[in-house]
Chain A
Amino acid sequence: MTTSAAWLKIDGDRVTPALQEALQKLDHAGGEAVLDFTAVRRIDPSAIRELEKLAGFAGGKACKIVLHGVNMDVYKVLKLVKLAPRFSFLS
């Protein structure tokens, strides 16, 4: 079991591509990953789709994805689309 944790910063101006890149890195690196959302002000439906993929990937590999610094508005979106339980959150 790997114990390494990747720390990936999500660019607030290009959230969807950043999440796609994160998924690729995670696919290659494996293990736990922390996605730094501190720069993310809003997410859109395409970002939600990428997050769904990330959650599916994490579920399949039994690894943990931690979202760091998610603001309240984005957190509420994740709750509404029922994605929140599929991630861990770090303030």
Chain B
Amino acid sequence: MPENVAPLSEERMAYLEGLVSQARNAAAVFTQYTQEDVDRIVKRMVLAGLDQAQYLARLAVEETKLGVMEDKAIKNMVATEFVYNYVKDKRTVGAIREDPEHGLVEMAEPIGVIFSLTPITNPTSTVLFKCIMAIKTRNAVIFSPHPNSLHCCAEAVRIMYETAVKHGAPEGVLSCLGAHTMPDNAYLMRHKDVGLIDATGGPGAVKAAYSSGKPALGVGAGNTPVYLEKTADLDMAVVDIITSKTFDNGTICASEQTVAIDDEIYDLVLKKFADLGAHICNEKDTALLGRTVIDPETGVMRPMAVGQKAADIARVVGLSVKPNTKLLITPIRGVGRDHPLSVEKLFPVLAVYRAMSVDDALKVCVDVNRLGGIGHTAVVFSRNDEVIHKFSEAMNAGRIIVNSPGAIGALGGVYNDLVPTFSFGCGTGGGNSTTDNVNVYHYLNIKRVARRAQAHMWFRVPNQIYFNTNAVENLRQFPSRSTLIVTNPALEQMGHVDIVRRSIPPETFVRVCAIPDAEPEFKVVMQGVEALNSYKVDQIVALGGGSVIDAAKIMKLMYESPEADLEELAAPFLDIRKRVAQYPAEKSNRLRMIAISTTSGTGSEVTPFAVLFDKERGRKVTLVDYSLSPDVAIVDPQFVMSMPKGLTADTGIDCLTHALEAGVSTYASPYTDSNAMQAIRLVFKYLPIAYEHPRDEEARSMMHNAACIAALAFSNASVGVNHALAHAFGARFGVAHGRANALMLPHVIAYNASVPTKFRPSPNQRAYVAHKKYAMIADLLGLGGKSIEEKVNNLVTATEQLLDRLEIPRSIAALGISKEEFERAMPDLAKIAFDDPSWQSNPRMPLVSELIELFWSAYHGRSPARDAAAFPQPAEMEVCV
């Protein structure tokens, strides 16, 4: 027995339990039915309903004493024929909608047992409508009609049920309470086997449904405002309003209640109403009506008037009207308790208001809308789209009916393509869960089958890359009126700028902007932008290492889009395809950018990255966007022949780190792999030679190519945790980027090759493959090893040997940083490293504790190859690479 329910006799409880039990069994059996089964049954039910439409209408009027038999017959036909027309081709069994493009399928799951309350105003039509919905969706329904419409509703249920069962529906699928009481409703609303309450009725029924704790569709009262605007087709509007407001004597809750009429047409409209059989009340009659048909205590309509004819209401009230009066029109001067007739009136009494402007009309409509009709229906008659739009913005109504009758328009399918219904969702404003015209989809649990989407990948690179010695001569093919060479003083002094100048067409006006050889600060960038502006530059040639090229990229960005907000553009993102910050597409200037690299490491000449140093906050700001990629890259080894040994080593390891991280990145693809693997091979072969024999042209050339090729890989696959660690450490202790990378590299390889503590969502990858990729690299380098673990170990050892050969310190401690100082820095280092976007594409999601562990491993310089237990290796797995 459910709790908090008024006591029921045992006999009554057994009766209700029996109803629920048979409905539950029927609903369960119904789950076996196919779409064809239910469609066949529904069609037969609809035909039976149509056949009995007039009979049921007569029963309804006789029993309820409300409305007009002829109109109720039409309602019964709408509830069957129009609803059928809507549902007949709808799939409600199995897969109901498919979106192969997005790998989504929606599948229908019946609810089971629905407990349904129906109103006195539209009794049989609502029952017919709900029976059809239930059978179409393979649900069982127990009906609880309004007490004053029990007989006609029971008869409607009987007709539907017998037809359904005759054509194959499970027995017990539709039932109707006989004489019943509130405790019956309360009991059933809380019954554990009832899946949904569908309460169409007054606010009390709706509130009870929502208070039951069960999922409920509660749809309720309206108070439909109408704006009759001066551009409207007045003859059509007047006929529509009379049709609607007198339909079934105004019992449809979507019918018009108060019409705001523009001053310019007010008198004419009232005359048209009068000409067609409406009685225009004077002030005294209006006051009398207001006192009589509206309860002054509660401010709501009196039941005695509901669904009665206008002439009968007039007679009872004591107004003198013509016997065939269709509608009583009552001018009002405002909305609210002081204007009783501004509330909902489910009978043919219509309030009208003279509006002095569009705003005045809209305000009155808003007031009416919010006086008991929020979320329900609103109507506008106008030929002015702007007015219609304004009205629609102002109203809180699930249905805004344009240039058609409110009541029949809201029912759907007659005057418009709204879904045919007899239950109007009023949204949260009306205390409902939906603003829809309730339909079959509200009687279904819709399951969404979402297939794993194949992530769209990309490989974007500058469309022109010139390489090999004297590649700089290709500058000749780029016409320019004014070119700015951005470089640093050292390169200028070395004569590199002159080499570049010689390759630029002689007619080009060339200027040089030498900036400090350090990560660019905003101030430096803006000085460059100033130069670009003053010289009206159309081509920028960046000659230098990563810092110079990055500075030029940001200069170009700020020159082309002066409004760009670097802080916003540097906002973190999880997936570049879905990032919040958008790089400016609108450009006030256009500039060609040519990048000539003078180091063999960063590959900035082809990357979409630029790093800015935020001096105020002591941190690096990384900008990422393909619009930052230079238009042309020149990879000419003549500019790196004189690189110092230390720089050769550091930048070479930076290049190796790029390639290794791109190789195991979660964004790695066959396109990036081919570049990453080739770059790794070139580095292991040529970096030691370039370091030990700086004038070796082949080694220099190959290392220069390797840096660019690695950059092509990481421009598309990104980097990983090694860079996050190196960025944090390098910035804090002023250690060159390449060297900082080198200190972390062996430890990160071992870390990534081990079982992740935590997997991170990575739709691009089907399995954890980092260890296999490292093993593949070991094979490529011919390092030997039988198992994956052995191969990974050999790669770590080979990396360590390479670092030794390049005479790179193998621990942070060896840089002279004390343990105490490092310990003090650790909280900041860990935080900054974790905030660094670089690791977002790392195969292994680093925990902060693991970042700290990696920092300490790098500090002490423990050999991960000899300390294999540091990170447990994954077991052999069958994975796709």
User: CB within 8 Å of B: which residues of A?
Assistant: 42-46, 48-49, 73-74, 76-77, 80-81
For residue B95, give the distance in angstroms from its CB to the closest CB of chain A: 16
Q: Which residues of A contact B112 (CB under 8 A)?
A: 80
Task: Select one of B22, B31, B171, B172 contacting A77, CB under 8 A.
Answer: B31
Name which residue of chain A comes closest to B28, CB basis. Answer: A80
List chain A residues, Cβ under 8 A from B470. none
Q: List 12 A-B contacts (CB under 8 A).
A: A42-B29, A42-B32, A44-B171, A45-B22, A45-B172, A48-B25, A73-B32, A76-B28, A76-B31, A76-B32, A80-B28, A80-B112
**What is the CA–CA distance of A45 and B21 in the complex, to the nearest angstrom?**
10
- Which A-B residue pairs are the 10 nearest by beta carbons? A80-B28, A77-B28, A73-B32, A42-B32, A45-B25, A81-B28, A48-B25, A45-B171, A45-B170, A81-B25
Partner of A44, one of B24, B27, B29, B31: B29
Q: Which residue of A lies closest to B112 (CB)?
A: A80
* Residue in chain B with minimal CB distance to A52: B25
A43 and B33 CA atoms in complex are apart in Å by 10
Question: Chain B: which residue is nearest A72 at the CB level?
Answer: B32
In the complex, the answer to whether B26 meets A45 with C-beta atoms within 8 Å is yes
Which of A46, A49, A81 is in CB contact (< 8 Å) with B24? Answer: A81
Q: Is the CB of B28 within 8 A of A44?
A: no
How many Å lie between the Cα of A80 and that of B31 in the bound state? 9
Q: How many pairs, one residue from A and one from B, have CB atoms within 8 Å of each other in the complex? A: 37
Determine the chain B residues whose CB is within 8 A of the CB of A81 once the complex forms: 24-25, 28
A87 to chain B, nearest CB (A): 15
Query: Which B residues have a C-beta under 8 Å from some C-beta of A?
Result: 22, 24-29, 31-32, 112, 170-172
Contact A48 B31 (CB under 8 A): no
Residues of B within 8 A of A48 (CB): 25, 28-29
Q: Within the complex, what minimum Cβ distance (angstroms) separates A52 from chain B?
A: 9
Q: Tell me the complex Cα distance, A80–B24, Å.
A: 8
Residues of B within 8 A of A80 (CB): 24, 27-28, 31, 112
Question: Once the chains are docked, how many angstroms separate the CA of A73 from the CA of B94?
Answer: 12
| CB pair A45 B29 closer than 8 Å | yes
> Which residues on A sit within 8 Å (CB–CB) of B25?
45, 48-49, 81
Please give, as numbers and ranges, the residues of chain B lying within 8 Å of A46 by CB-CB distance. Answer: 171
CA distance A61 to B632 in the complex (A): 88
Q: How far is the CA of A80 from the CA of B28 in the complex (A)?
A: 6
B29 and A43 contact, CB distance less than 8 A: yes
* Distance of A44 Cα from B172 Cα, bound (Å): 11
Task: Give the Cβ gap from B171 to chain A, nearest Cβ, in Å.
Answer: 5
The residue in chain A whose Cβ has the minimal distance to the Cβ of B33 is A42
The CB with the most chain A CB atoms within 10 A, among B22, B26, B28, B171, is that of B28
Given contacts A43-B32, A76-B32, 10 further A-B contacts (CB under 8 A): A43-B29, A44-B170, A45-B170, A45-B172, A46-B171, A48-B29, A73-B32, A80-B28, A80-B31, A80-B112
Measured CB to CB, the closest approach of chain B to A50, in angstroms, equals 12
User: In whole angstroms, what is the CA distance A16 to B28 when docked?
Assistant: 16
Q: How far is the CA of A57 from the CA of B837 in the complex (A)?
A: 67
Write out the residue numbers on chain B whose beta carbons fall within 8 Å of the beta carbon of A49: 25
CB neighbours (8 Å) of B28 from chain A are 48, 76-77, 80-81
Q: How distant is A61 from chain B, measured CB to nearest CB, in Å?
A: 24
In the bound complex, how far is the Cα of B30 from the Cα of A80, in angstroms?
Answer: 11
With beta carbons under 8 angstroms apart, the residue of B22, B27, B31, B172 that contacts A73 is B31
Taking CB atoms, residues of chain A closer than 8 Å to B31 are: 73, 76-77, 80
A42 vs chain B, min Cβ distance (A) = 5
